[in-house]
Chains A and B, each alone.
Chain A
Amino acid sequence: MTAFDDPFNPEIRLGGGCSCGAHTTQAAHDAETDPIAGSSDVETLMARSVEIAVMKEMFGPDVNRRAFLRTVGAGTALAAISQFFPLAAAKEAFAQTMGPIEKTKLQIGFIPITCATPIIMAHPMGFYAKNGLDVEVVRTAGWAVIRDKTLNKEYDAAHFLSPMPLAITMGAGSNPVPYTMPAVENINGQAITLSVKHKDKNDPKMWKGLKFGVPFDYSMHNYLLRYYVAEAGLDPDTDIQIRAVPPPEMVANLRADNIDGFLGPDPFNQRAVYDGVGYIHILSKQLWDGHPCCAFAASKEFVTSMPNTYQALLKSIIQATAYAAKAENRKEVAEAISAQNYLNQPVTVVEQVLTGTYADGLGNVKTDPKRIDFDPFPYQSMAIWILTQMKRWGQIKGDVNYKQIAEQVFLATDAAKLMKEAGLTPPASAMRNHTIMGKVFDPTKPEEYVNSFKIKRA
C-alpha cells in the first residue's frame, strides 16, 4: 500500500453520486480507486482526507485546482475541512520552511519513460513554477549519458535508476562521487516484453540462449531479470545474454531482432505491443509488488551547497508524485507527458501504462491499476536489497556495510520531513520486510540473504 491511497471514501455518505463527482455511482468510482482504503477506520481516513485536501490547496489554481474540485467535489467539502484544519496556519508553516532559493534556473535530465512521470509532469503542470523554480527538463539518450552529464554538472539533478546513486557513491562503474537519492519516483511499472516470434516461450525455463535487454547494469531491471531467470533455474550469466540497451532503443532493437526480449520500463513495453513487435510476458509488479525503480537524484554537493533550492525541488517532485499517485489524475497526466517535448509517444500508449488497462500483445485486454504507482519514500531496506543483489552478481566485492551506505544515499529522513510538510503520511520506519517472488527479504540479515541463493557469483 502507498501513502496516497484514496482518502475520500467516508465522504460518500454526505450526498449522492461518488465522492469525487466524476462518476455516476460510487461503485464506478471505487473501480478506479484503491479498494484498500476502505479497510481503514473512519477517523484515520478523515484525518488523511484533510491532509490531502490541504496539500492540494497548496498547489494553487489552474489544472490543480480543477483537479482538487473534481476530487473533493462541492465547496461544502472545503468548508468541512476548514472546520478541522486551520488552512491559513498550515500555509504559513509550509512557507516558513522555505528560505530564499539560491538558484532558480535548473536543468534536470530525464529518460523518456513513464518512471520519470513526476519529474516530467512537474514541468507542464506547473509544480516547479509553483515552488519558485524555473526548470528545464532535458530528454537524454541513455543512463550512462545522464550519469555523465550529471557528474559533469550539466544537469543540476536527474532522473536515475535507484541503484545508480548507490553504485556512484561506491565507485562501481564510475569514479566515486557522494550521491544522494532523496526520493523514489515510481514503484512497479516495468515488464518483461518478448518478441512476437517467441509467443510460445511463456516460461522462463524455455529461455536458454535468448538475448535480453536491460536499461543499465546498475538497474532494478537487471536485478529483477536475473532474479526471475535464476528462480527458474537458469544462470543469467551463462544461460541467457543480458546487455544494456538504453530504454528508448529497446523497441527498435526488438524489431530489428537484435534482442529477443527485454525487462524494460514503460512505455516501451506497451509501445512494443502497439507496434505489433512484442507482447508483455509479465509485469514487474508480479515479481515484487512495490519494488522501487527510478529515482530522483542529486549530488551531495548540490544538496549541501543549495539547501533551499534542493528543498524546493524535492518538494515539487514529491507534490508531483503525490498527484500522479491518484488514479483519477492518471489520464490527465498521461496527456501532459505524451507530448513530443516529453515522452514523444502516442497518448493511448502512455494512458494504458498509467491507467493499467492495457493490451498485452496476445489479443487480450488486461487490467491492473497498480501496474505503475508512485511513492516517493526511499525505504532504506530497498537500498539494502539492491546492495545484496550487487553483491550476489559480483558488481561489488568484499564486505559491504549495507546499512551505512543505504542510510547515506537513501535520504529517508528528508523525504519523510517533506512528505509531512506536504501533508502526507510517511511510513514510521525506513526499514521493512519485502517479498520478492514469494521469498521474504529481511533487511537486517542481508548477508544471510545473499548466501541463501543457489545461483550467485559472490
Chain B
Amino acid sequence: MLTSLHARGALLSIAIFVVFIGIWHIAVTAGGGPAGLAVDPEYAKLVGAAAAVGQKTPFPTPGEVGLKLWSQISDPFYVRGTNDMGIGIQLGYSILRVLMGFLLAAAVAIPLGFLIGMSPVFYRALDPFIQVLKPISPLAWMPLALYTIKDSQVSSIFVIFICSVWPMLINTAFGVSAVRREWINVAKTLEVGTIRTALHVILPAAAPTIMTGMRISIGIAWLVIVAAEMLVGGTGIGYFVWNEWNNLSLSSVITAILFIGLVGMVLDLMLAYAAKLVSYVE
C-alpha cells in the first residue's frame, strides 16, 4: 500500500499522462485507416503518403512527436546556417531577449516605483499615465517600435520591456508605500539617512512585494516573447513555432510548445526561489 502522498500523486500524474497519450494516439490513427482511392504509383511518389490516398496529411501521432523530441534533445545546439539552428539555440535567443527586456524594465521600474511609493506627489502625477499605459497590449507597441527604433531585435526587446515594466512598477510602488510605519519610525529615531533608510529598511521590507511583481513580469514577458517573435521573425522559439506551423510540421510545433512550457516553468521557479530568499515572516 502506498502511504506517501508524493508517490500517490506521481502515480496519478503518470496515469493521466498515459491516458492522454493513449487517447491522442487512438484519435489520430483511427481516422486515416482505410485507403480512399487507388492512385497511379507515379503520382503517389510525388505527393505525401496521405495525399496519395486522397487524404490530408494527418495530425502527428505521439510516437512521431516523441521521435522529433528525441532528435531535438539529442542535438539542441547545432548551427547549420542562419536559418537552421537547434532548438536550444532558438530558446537561447528567446531567453536572452526576455532577460534583456526584463532587466531593463527592472532597472527603470524599481527606482521609479520607489519614487512613486515614497512621494504622494509623484504618485498623483504619474498615476494617470500608468493607468492609461498599463492595459495596452504589449504587441500593440510593435509597429510603433519597428517604425521608430528601426531594428527588429531591439523592437522585440522593447516590447518585453514595456510589458514587464508595469507589474514591477506597480508592485514596487505598492510595496514601498505599504512598508510598516513602525520600521520607518525606528529608522527615524535612529537618525538614519534617507538613502540608508531606502536601502536597508524600505527595500528589504518591500522586497517580497517587488519580487512578486518581478515574477508576474517574467511570466508575462515569456508569454509575449513568443508572440513578438512570431511577428518579427528571424530567430527565437516564437519564430520557430510559426515557421514550423507554416511548414505544416506539427510535431515540431508540439515539441516547441512543450519547451516553451518547460522554460516558462523554470523561469518562474527561479524567481520563486529568489522571492523565497528575500521573503520574511512577520
Task: Say whether A associates with B.
Answer: yes
Question: In whole Å, how far is B114's beta carbon from the nearest beta carbon of chain A?
Answer: 36
Q: How far is the CA of A138 from the CA of B235 in the complex (A)?
A: 10
B280 at the interface (CB under 8 A from A): no
Given contacts A139-B82, A275-B248, contact A154 B151 (CB under 8 A): yes
B39 at the interface (CB under 8 A from A): yes
Task: Identify the stretch in B48-56, B104-112, B161-169 within 8 Å (CB) of chain A at 4 or more residues.
Answer: B48-56
Q: How far is the CA of A24 from the CA of B160 in the complex (A)?
A: 62
Q: How far is the CA of A148 from the CA of B151 in the complex (A)?
A: 9
- The reply to whether A251 and B248 form a contact with Cβ atoms under 8 Å apart is yes
- The reply to whether A365 and B83 form a contact with Cβ atoms under 8 Å apart is no
- The reply to whether A276 and B56 form a contact with Cβ atoms under 8 Å apart is yes
Tell me the residues in window 266-295 of chain A with beta carbons closer than 8 Å to chain B beta carbons: 271, 273-277
- The reply to whether A363 and B50 form a contact with Cβ atoms under 8 Å apart is no
Tell me the residues in window 29-78 of chain B with beta carbons closer than 8 Å to chain A beta carbons: 37, 39-40, 42-43, 45-48, 50-51, 54-57
A342 at the interface (CB under 8 A from B): yes
- The reply to whether B43 and A365 form a contact with Cβ atoms under 8 Å apart is yes
- The reply to whether A275 and B46 form a contact with Cβ atoms under 8 Å apart is no
Q: How far is the CA of A246 from the CA of B233 in the complex (A)?
A: 12
Contacting residue for B51 out of A249, A251, A275, A345, CB 8 A: A275
Q: How far is the CA of A301 from the CA of B104 in the complex (A)?
A: 35
Central interface residue in B83, B84, B152, by most chain A CB within 10 Å: B83
Q: How far is the CA of A157 from the CA of B57 in the complex (A)?
A: 37
B232 at the interface (CB under 8 A from A): yes
Contacts of A359 in B (CB 8 A): 43, 46-47, 51
Task: Identify the stretch in B118-126, B185-193, B239-247 within 8 Å (CB) of chain A at 4 or more residues.
Answer: B239-247
B6 at the interface (CB under 8 A from A): no
Given contacts A152-B151, A248-B247, contact A276 B84 (CB under 8 A): no
Contacts of A255 in B (CB 8 A): 56, 248
- The reply to whether B246 and A248 form a contact with Cβ atoms under 8 Å apart is yes
A299 at the interface (CB under 8 A from B): no
Tell me the residues in window 136-171 of chain A with beta carbons closer than 8 Å to chain B beta carbons: 136-142, 145, 148-149, 152-154
Given contacts A141-B233, A148-B146, A365-B43, contact A276 B82 (CB under 8 A): no
Contacting residue for B83 out of A154, A271, A342, CB 8 A: A342
Contacts of A249 in B (CB 8 A): 246
Contacts of B43 in A (CB 8 A): 359, 363-365
- The reply to whether A339 and B51 form a contact with Cβ atoms under 8 Å apart is no
- The reply to whether B51 and A138 form a contact with Cβ atoms under 8 Å apart is no
Q: How far is the CA of A185 from the CA of B169 in the complex (A)?
A: 52
Given contacts A149-B152, A344-B247, A363-B40, contact A339 B84 (CB under 8 A): yes
Looking across the interface, which residue of chain A has its beta carbon closest to that of B244?
A: A344
Q: How far is the CA of A275 from the CA of B51 in the complex (A)?
A: 6
- The reply to whether A276 and B248 form a contact with Cβ atoms under 8 Å apart is no
Contacts of A140 in B (CB 8 A): 233-234
Given contacts A251-B246, A255-B56, contact A154 B152 (CB under 8 A): yes
Tell me the residues in window 246-260 of chain A with beta carbons closer than 8 Å to chain B beta carbons: 246, 248-249, 251-252, 255
Q: How far is the CA of A277 from the CA of B47 in the complex (A)?
A: 11
Looking across the interface, which residue of chain A has its beta carbon closest to that of B81?
A: A341
Contacts of B56 in A (CB 8 A): 196, 255, 275-277
B80 at the interface (CB under 8 A from A): yes
Contacts of A274 in B (CB 8 A): 46-48, 51, 57
Could you say which interface size class chain A belongs to?
Answer: 35 or more
Looking across the interface, which residue of chain A has its beta carbon closest to that of B39?
A: A363
Tell me the residues in window 72-108 of chain B with beta carbons closer than 8 Å to chain A beta carbons: 80-84
Question: In whole Å, how far is B154's beta carbon from the nearest beta carbon of chain A?
Answer: 10
A193 at the interface (CB under 8 A from B): no
Q: How far is the CA of A273 from the CA of B57 in the complex (A)?
A: 10
A216 at the interface (CB under 8 A from B): no
Looking across the interface, which residue of chain A has its beta carbon closest to that of B48?
A: A274
Question: In whole Å, how far is B107's beta carbon from the nearest beta carbon of chain A?
Answer: 26
Looking across the interface, which residue of chain B has its beta carbon closest to that of A253?
A: B246
Q: How far is the CA of A341 from the CA of B83 in the complex (A)?
A: 5
Contacting residue for A358 out of B46, B57, B232, B233, CB 8 A: B46
A26 at the interface (CB under 8 A from B): no
A71 at the interface (CB under 8 A from B): no
Contacts of A363 in B (CB 8 A): 37, 39-40, 43
Q: How far is the CA of A273 from the CA of B48 in the complex (A)?
A: 8
Question: In whole Å, how far is B159's beta carbon from the nearest beta carbon of chain A?
Answer: 15
Contacts of A154 in B (CB 8 A): 151-152
A413 at the interface (CB under 8 A from B): no
Contacts of B151 in A (CB 8 A): 152, 154
B200 at the interface (CB under 8 A from A): no
A452 at the interface (CB under 8 A from B): no
- The reply to whether B83 and A138 form a contact with Cβ atoms under 8 Å apart is yes
Tell me the residues in window 375-399 of chain A with beta carbons closer than 8 Å to chain B beta carbons: none
B150 at the interface (CB under 8 A from A): yes
A408 at the interface (CB under 8 A from B): no
Q: How far is the CA of A352 from the CA of B247 in the complex (A)?
A: 17
- The reply to whether B243 and A248 form a contact with Cβ atoms under 8 Å apart is yes
- The reply to whether A252 and B246 form a contact with Cβ atoms under 8 Å apart is yes
Contacts of A344 in B (CB 8 A): 83-84, 243, 247
- The reply to whether A276 and B48 form a contact with Cβ atoms under 8 Å apart is yes
Looking across the interface, which residue of chain B has its beta carbon closest to that of A153?
A: B150
Q: How far is the CA of A149 from the CA of B51 in the complex (A)?
A: 37
Looking across the interface, which residue of chain B has its beta carbon closest to that of A145?
A: B233
Q: How far is the CA of A136 from the CA of B79 in the complex (A)?
A: 13
Contacts of B42 in A (CB 8 A): 365
Q: How far is the CA of A348 from the CA of B234 in the complex (A)?
A: 26
Question: In whole Å, how far is A100's beta carbon from the nearest beta carbon of chain B?
Answer: 26
A304 at the interface (CB under 8 A from B): no
- The reply to whether A276 and B233 form a contact with Cβ atoms under 8 Å apart is no
Interface 1/0s, chain A 212-250, versus B by CB < 8 A?
Answer: 000000000000000000000000000000000010110
Contacting residue for A348 out of B46, B57, B82, B245, CB 8 A: B46
A340 at the interface (CB under 8 A from B): yes
Q: How far is the CA of A274 from the CA of B44 in the complex (A)?
A: 9
Q: How far is the CA of A348 from the CA of B146 in the complex (A)?
A: 38
Looking across the interface, which residue of chain B has its beta carbon closest to that of A275?
A: B57
- Known: A341-B80, A342-B83; 9 extra A-B contacts, CB below 8 A, are A139-B233, A152-B152, A249-B246, A255-B248, A274-B51, A276-B47, A344-B83, A344-B247, A352-B46
25 contacts between A and B (CB under 8 A): A138-B83, A138-B234, A141-B243, A152-B150, A152-B152, A153-B150, A248-B247, A249-B246, A251-B246, A274-B47, A275-B48, A275-B50, A276-B50, A276-B51, A276-B55, A276-B57, A277-B56, A342-B81, A346-B48, A358-B46, A359-B47, A361-B51, A363-B40, A365-B43, A365-B46
Q: Which B residues have a C-beta under 8 Å from some C-beta of A?
A: 37, 39-40, 42-43, 45-48, 50-51, 54-57, 80-84, 146, 150-152, 231-234, 239, 242-243, 245-248
